[in-house]
Amino acid sequence: MQTHKNRVAVVSGAAKGIGQELAIQLAQRGAALALLDIADLSQTCALIEEVGGKAIAIHCDVSQEADWIAAGELVKNQYGRCDILVNNAGIYPNVHFDDLEFKTWRRTFEINLDSMFLSAKVFVPMLRANGWGRIVNVSSTSIVTNAVGVSHYMATKMGVIGFTRGLANDLGKDFITVNTLAPALTATPGTSHIPDAVRDGIVNLQAFKRMAVPNDMVGPMLFLTSEDAQFVTGQVLAVDGGMMKTC
């Protein structure tokens, strides 16, 4: 199933969790990968090599414009192009509003939302040069829950949806699709700190009474980054076991 053959995909937050699983499966489907993270990417690279794929690892603090510019140059020098951009990197600091400091608010915005603007500024010109492109920004279904201690996080994830819709309008003339994937609370190293009571409360809102795992997100992401999604843009795809229900 070489659905992504000859495509070059940039995936942020690829060292673990959803980003790692997506990168491996994109490689299995023929894509060449550029992996971005501040964490060690050697495991992801090794797993991609095991399935016969190709990847480069780029140390990148996604909140820093200079890091994105450098990443773009590395991708251009290595592959000469970019076709797919997946903005998956994010943080989930659980802090009640009473204890929330402005520096935490700002850092959450820098990583979860500013990074998507910075990545688009670097890679949209490459997508446009190809006459083909797919952008997937990762939000969260936490925006419709009654979770406490995440006002800053929810603000960024709502911002992701707004940015996605605006960018989809701006890039429509180029036939570059821009969509949001909104995962349920997913079992990854980044969510391991969440208390069991909070986790259980979220799962109880779902039709499927289990916590999501990274692979649950990959199929929808593969669709949104494929040729099959050529007329899907500006959309929010909730992958949450039936928690968000819209008409």
* DSSP code per residue over 61-101: -TT-HHHHHHHHHHHHHHHS---EEEE---------GGG--
Residues 88-138: tens digit of each pLDDT: 999 988 899 999 999 999 999 999 999 999 999 999 999 999 999 999 999
Predicted local confidence at residue 84, as pLDDT:
98
Q: What is the mean pLDDT of residues 210-239?
A: 95
Give the whole-angstrom CA distance, residue 88 versus residue 91: 10
- Nearest of 39, 52, 138 to residue 87 by alpha carbon: 138
Q: What is the mean pLDDT of residues 54-60?
A: 98
Active-site positions read 153
How far from 73 is each of 40, 60, 84, 121, CA to CA, in Å? 20, 12, 16, 13
| Placement of tokens 């819709």 in the chain | 165
Predicted local confidence at residue 245, as pLDDT:
65
Predicted local confidence at residue 246, as pLDDT:
53
Residues 193-220: tens digit of each pLDDT: 777 887 888 888 888 898 889 999 999 9
Mean of pLDDT over the chain: 94
The dihedral sign for the CA sequence 235, 236, 241, 245: negative
Provide the residue count of the chain.
247
Residues 76-87: tens digit of each pLDDT: 999 999 999 999
Has residue 232 got a pLDDT over 90? Answer: yes
For the domain 8-239, what is the CATH code? 3.40.50.720
Assign 3-class secondary structure to 33-61.
EEEEECCCCHHHHHHHHHCCCEEEEEECC
Specify the pTM: 0.94
Counting residues of the chain whose pLDDT is more than 70, the rounded percentage is: 99
Residue spans per domain, the chain: 8-239
The DSSP output letter for 10 is E
Question: Lowest mean pLDDT: which of 128-132, 159-163, 242-246?
Answer: 242-246
Number of H helices, E strands in the chain: 8, 7
